[in-house]
Amino acid sequence: MSFRPLLHLVFSLLGVLNATALADQASENSLKAGFVYNFAKFTDWPADGHHQLIICTLSRNPLDGQLSLLRGRRIGERSLEVRTGISSGAWRDCHLLFVPQEDAERAQPILRSASGHPLLTVGDFADFSQLGGHIELRENERHLQFEINQGAAQRAGLKLSSQLLKLAIKVHP
Amino acid sequence: MVSSCRSRAGLKRACGLLLLIATGLGNSHARTLSDEEASWLPLEALVDVEIASADKYIRKLSGAASSAVVVDAEDIRRHGYRNLADLLQTLPGLYVTNDRNYSYLGSRGVGLVGDWNSRILFLVDGHRINENVYDGAYIGHDFIVDLALVDRVEYVAGPAASMFYGNNAFFGVVNVITKTGKQIDGGRVDLSVGSHRAQKQTLSYGKQHENGLDVVISASRLDIRGQDLYIPEFNGVAPRGDYEEADKFFTKVTHGEWSFQFAHGERKKGIPNAPYLQVFFDPRNHSHDAQTFASLQFNRQLESDALFSAKIYQGQYDYSGDYIYADNGQRYINRDVAKGRWQGGEVKYVSATRNGHQWLIGAEYRASPARNQRNFDIDGATILDDKRSDQAWAVYGHDTIKLKQDLTLDLGLRYDRPPYGQGRLNPRFGLIYDWRPETTLKLLYGSAFRSPNVSELHYDINYNFLPNPQLRAETIRSLEAQLEHRPNAASRWLATLFENRINGLVSNVYQGVGDDGARGTADDVYRLENSQQLRSQGLELRYEQQLDGGRFNAAYTLQQSDFSDGSRLENSPRHLAKLNWRQPLLATGIHWALGLQYIGPRQNYANQRVAGAVLGQLAFSGRLTRQIDWSLAIFNLLDRRYNDPAGLANAPVGYVRQDGQTVFFNLGIGF
């Protein structure tokens, strides 16, 4: 007798044949840089005449260098500039502030004083949107997701595109 | 293949399985994206990409030419490995031999029982674990870190990695990388029970705080009552002779670029089979090993892919063993003690890639204020009191050169000033050719050395195993060719051909008869000498497949190791086969994990044949609530009666009976 049909049945039951398409993989930091780039792309700032779109961060080496690699990319008419290691008073030229976990404490004064100004804040730690931040990145089962605090963004005069709102796992009004 | 499947019933079953694997598993097309690709992805795609667990540092430091085999935390949990030895014996080309006192790891055909793993370098987060008296590393329940804290284990075969680690990285490097507090994220209690009245309790906590401070802390305790083993050579039972008790403590605090680690592990093991010509049996016979290390590390990521790291560390090792002898019928305890103390530092710099070059330079220094051995009879004479102190340093440089888009050259040079003997210069040369996008060819040549340890040089207790202060360092030259084929991102084929030439392997050489005046008895006199050339040649095939929620891999190793006079090496199986497979069980939330190993026939120290064996492990794991998970693992699934070869120290015992079927159950509660 042949064992094959039997084995086939057993292994089907065990779920072996369910091997389906798998998720692509990439390093955490490069993925986060990709998210920041997309957040910038899908946000409308009030017109300010700048030919650059400036991403700032307090950290000297954000995302292990991956954030700085966005430098020079174009979004529409504007090119991206990345400023690292800025002092906490120097956020006024910035369009987007990226706050990694290690800057959580230091960034709080900026979040308070920049509230209502068109500075898109992206945080890489839990409860960032509760603190008044605009977009919170979070990790869930080895995937990155994001939450949006739409009320705070609107008060700051920022317009987030519907595509962004659609892909967010949570939108706070 | 199909035609040969008709020939025999047993084969037919195996073929059916292979066909299923070939047809059923091959439909995944996931890829690992480069950093550049990932950061350009559209938003809809980004949310679907999985975060890769591979640690860039480690990859970078092991060099492009070496291929690491990786076992991750998910594998450890699903397969229910109890200790590092359980895990390592499932890897290609590796086999573990246990003499019921310690576990010895064999690699590519060389696994000397009684060498305390001094020919393989063990690291915890890049930190050397091998102590400085026997240069040993302990891989059973005596390993310094609990597996529950391990994020992954990487094994690099061959002297490829010795470029960065020097002495003892002779046959390979095993790097154990611990989890971060962020990964653990909370507290956890693990309670385990198992056969032979095993119980284990682990308490661990890990957290990354908002200010970036990442903390891991863990303590565990293991107690195994053990079996009442029958030892055929003595025709007697060793009641409660196989007990084992182990305690561990580990903490790691990371803040930004700084990381501090402290680890302590100690174990007491009953010895049931009376090695070293003891009287059989005395329950006081045991060994006790304690290891501690502390290290402070600084890592700075410089521009793009450049990296600077510096480290200082301190370590200590204490061993004490009680051995029971009789004089005129009066039993007495002989105590054997070792004390190792060391401290050191190292710096490493990896340059950014410029004009196709990536440089790595490093230097290390280690001082050993104590490499001491003592042996005395309780209430009696001191037989040995040997105190040694010394130092060693090394410098190395390595360059990865992208010659062409598809051709990479890997060049390295390392100079070691070992504690004994002259300086040693060891080169490494690798060529990596990306033949096609999914196929890579590698050619690798490297050499390495191992200095004799203080025990081999100076452990003289008027016993029938004599040390030899004249021993030279062992050297190995290794040539390896590898073909790697990735038909899709979820699967990988690896074929490796290797040849090792080992000069001066430290071996026991027969000198004459012992006190009983008869040859071939357990008290024959041996002395350690550098043996003639040993040549190992072999072939290794490996297949890996990522599955939806699981993993499959299989490996086969064929090797032969002969001395230049034609004699065979002990404990050197010609055939090794491995299979590891884990998957979710339908949609039940329960996972199953199967491990199978075949180890071919081998010889013990007395050239007696030890039969081959097929071993299996089956484990199930799942979750009761969000907070509570469980796992059940069955070891030696088929309840095979099998032996490991004994070492010379075990004479007259020639075969060491291993455990039959055992189970281990774990309940984990998170908080």
pTM of the shown model: 0.78
Helices (H) and strands (E) in chain A, counts: 5, 11
CA–CA dist B287, B266 (Å, integer): 11
Q: Residue B2's pLDDT band (boundaries 50, 70, 90)? A: very low
Residues above pLDDT 70, as percent of chain B: 91
Answer for the pair B384, B402: CB distance below 8 angstroms, yes or no. Answer: no
Q: Closest by alpha carbon to B357, among B415, B306, B413, B429?
A: B306
Rounded (10°) CA dihedral A154, A159, A163, A168 = -30
**Between B144 and B407, residue with greater pLDDT:** B144
Is A75 near chain B, with CB under 8 Å? no
Question: Which DSSP letter does residue A102 get?
Answer: G
pLDDT, tens digit, for every residue of B156-213?
Answer: 887 666 667 778 888 989 999 999 998 888 999 999 999 999 999 999 999 988 888 9
The H-or-E segment that residue A7 falls in is helix A4-13
- CA angle, B657 then B658 then B663, to 5°: 150
Nearest to A142 among B34, B42, B50 (CB): B50
pLDDT at B160: 67
Mutation site for A-interface testing, chosen from B2, B34, B39 by largest number of A Cβ within 10 Å: B39
Is A163 near chain B, with CB under 8 Å? yes
| Interface contact flag, A34 B40, Cβ < 8 Å | yes
Mutation site for A-interface testing, chosen from B1, B21, B41, B51 by largest number of A Cβ within 10 Å: B51
pLDDT at B66: 63
pLDDT, tens digit, for every residue of B433-445?
Answer: 888 878 889 999 9
For residue B89, pLDDT over 50 is answered with: yes
CA–CA dist B631, B616 (Å, integer): 17
pLDDT at B618: 98
Give the pLDDT mean for B553-566. Answer: 94
For residue B21, pLDDT over 80 is answered with: no
Chain A residue with Cα closest to B545: A19
Give the pLDDT mean for B443-472. Answer: 92
For residue B181, the cross-strand partners are none
Average pLDDT, chain B: 88
For residue B362, pLDDT over 80 is answered with: yes
Question: Cβ neighbours of residue B607 under 8 Å, at least 6 residues apart?
Answer: B568, B570
pLDDT, tens digit, for every residue of A13-58?
Answer: 444 444 333 456 777 888 999 999 999 999 999 988 888 999 999 8
DSSP helix/strand/coil, B609: strand
Give the pLDDT mean for B245-260. Answer: 95
Contacts of B211 in chain A (CB under 8 A): 102, 104-105
Mutation site for B-interface testing, chosen from A12, A27, A128, A131 by largest number of B Cβ within 10 Å: A27
> Any idea which residue has 């990345």 for tokens?
A82
Q: Residue B24's pLDDT band (boundaries 50, 70, 90)? A: very low
For residue B320, pLDDT over 60 is answered with: yes
Nearest to A14 among B29, B305, B585 (CB): B585
Distances (CA, A) of B578 to B159, B536, B599: 22, 20, 9
**Between A3 and A86, residue with greater pLDDT:** A86
Average pLDDT, chain A: 82
pLDDT at B23: 37
pLDDT at B61: 38
Contacts of B19 in chain A (CB under 8 A): 4
Provide the 10 A C-beta neighbour count for residue A20.
Answer: 11
Is A70 near chain B, with CB under 8 Å? yes
Q: What is the distance in angstroms between the Cα of B32 and the nearest Cα belonging to chain A? A: 5
SS (H, E, C) B55-76: CHHHHHHHCCCCCEEEEEHHHH
Is B13 near chain A, with CB under 8 Å? yes
**Between B46 and B573, residue with greater pLDDT:** B573
Mutation site for B-interface testing, chosen from A36, A38, A140 by largest number of B Cβ within 10 Å: A38
Q: Residue B19's pLDDT band (boundaries 50, 70, 90)? A: very low
For residue A133, pLDDT over 80 is answered with: yes
pLDDT at B52: 66
Nearest to B51 among A14, A18, A142 (CB): A142
pLDDT at A143: 82
Question: Cβ neighbours of residue A142 under 8 Å, at least 6 residues apart?
Answer: B50, B51, B53
Q: Residue B447's pLDDT band (boundaries 50, 70, 90)? A: very high
How many Cβ pairs within 8 Å bridge chains A and B?
Answer: 165
CA–CA dist A166, B44 (Å, integer): 10
What are the E-state strand segments in B328-386?
330-350, 357-377, 382-386
Contacts of A65 in chain B (CB under 8 A): 301, 303-305
Structure ipTM: 0.81
Q: Which two tokens stand for residue B50?
A: 């999985």
Is B46 near chain A, with CB under 8 Å? yes
| Interface contact flag, B50 A23, Cβ < 8 Å | yes
| Interface contact flag, A22 B29, Cβ < 8 Å | yes
Q: Residue A4's pLDDT band (boundaries 50, 70, 90)? A: low
Q: Closest by alpha carbon to A107, among A121, A93, A126?
A: A121
For residue B421, pLDDT over 70 is answered with: yes
| Interface contact flag, A34 B585, Cβ < 8 Å | no
* Pairing of the two strands B390-404 and A74-75: unpaired
pLDDT, tens digit, for every residue of B492-537?
Answer: 899 999 999 999 999 999 898 888 888 877 788 999 999 999 999 9
Residues above pLDDT 90, as percent of chain A: 31
pLDDT at B402: 84
Tell me phi and psi for residue B519, to 5 degrees. -85, 150
Q: Closest by alpha carbon to B549, among B519, B520, B587?
A: B587
| Interface contact flag, B30 A28, Cβ < 8 Å | no
Give the pLDDT mean for B611-617. Answer: 96
CA–CA dist B306, B309 (Å, integer): 10
Answer for the pair B626, B633: CB distance below 8 angstroms, yes or no. Answer: no
Half-sphere exposure of B340 (CA within 13 A, CB side): 28
Q: Closest by alpha carbon to B172, among B196, B189, B155, B148?
A: B155
For residue B22, pLDDT over 60 is answered with: no
Is A161 near chain B, with CB under 8 Å? no
Question: Which DSSP letter does residue B147 get?
Answer: G
Contacts of B39 in chain A (CB under 8 A): 30-31, 33-34, 37, 66, 69-70
**Between B5 and B384, residue with greater pLDDT:** B384
Amino acid symbol at B538: G
| Interface contact flag, A21 B13, Cβ < 8 Å | no
pLDDT, tens digit, for every residue of B584-593?
Answer: 887 778 999 9
Answer for the pair B597, B90: CB distance below 8 angstroms, yes or no. Answer: yes
**Between B12 and B477, residue with greater pLDDT:** B477
CA–CA dist B479, B485 (Å, integer): 20
Is B213 near chain A, with CB under 8 Å? no
Give residues 539 to 558 of B whose Cβ lies within 8 Å of A. Answer: 545-548
| Interface contact flag, A26 B211, Cβ < 8 Å | no
pLDDT, tens digit, for every residue of B134-156?
Answer: 999 999 999 999 999 999 898 98
Q: Closest by alpha carbon to B102, among B232, B268, B222?
A: B268
pLDDT at B102: 97
pLDDT at B303: 67
Q: Which two tokens stand for residue B194?
A: 């198992």
For residue B25, pLDDT over 50 is answered with: no
Is A37 near chain B, with CB under 8 Å? yes
Is A61 near chain B, with CB under 8 Å? yes
Nearest to B41 among A34, A65, A125 (CB): A34
Starting from the edge strand earliest in sequence, which strands make up the sheet with B150-157, in order?
B68-72, B150-157, B172-178, B120-124, B127-128
Q: What is the distance in angstroms between the Cα of A155 and the nearest Cα belonging to chain B? A: 24
Helices (H) and strands (E) in chain B, counts: 9, 40
pLDDT at B11: 44
Q: Residue A9's pLDDT band (boundaries 50, 70, 90)? A: low
For residue B55, pLDDT over 50 is answered with: no
pLDDT at A112: 85
- Of B12-26, B43-57, B237-251, the poorest mean pLDDT is in B12-26
pLDDT at B1: 34
pLDDT at B43: 85
Mutation site for A-interface testing, chosen from B15, B32, B35 by largest number of A Cβ within 10 Å: B35
**Between B634 and B519, residue with greater pLDDT:** B634
| Interface contact flag, A19 B25, Cβ < 8 Å | yes
CA–CA dist B91, B553 (Å, integer): 9
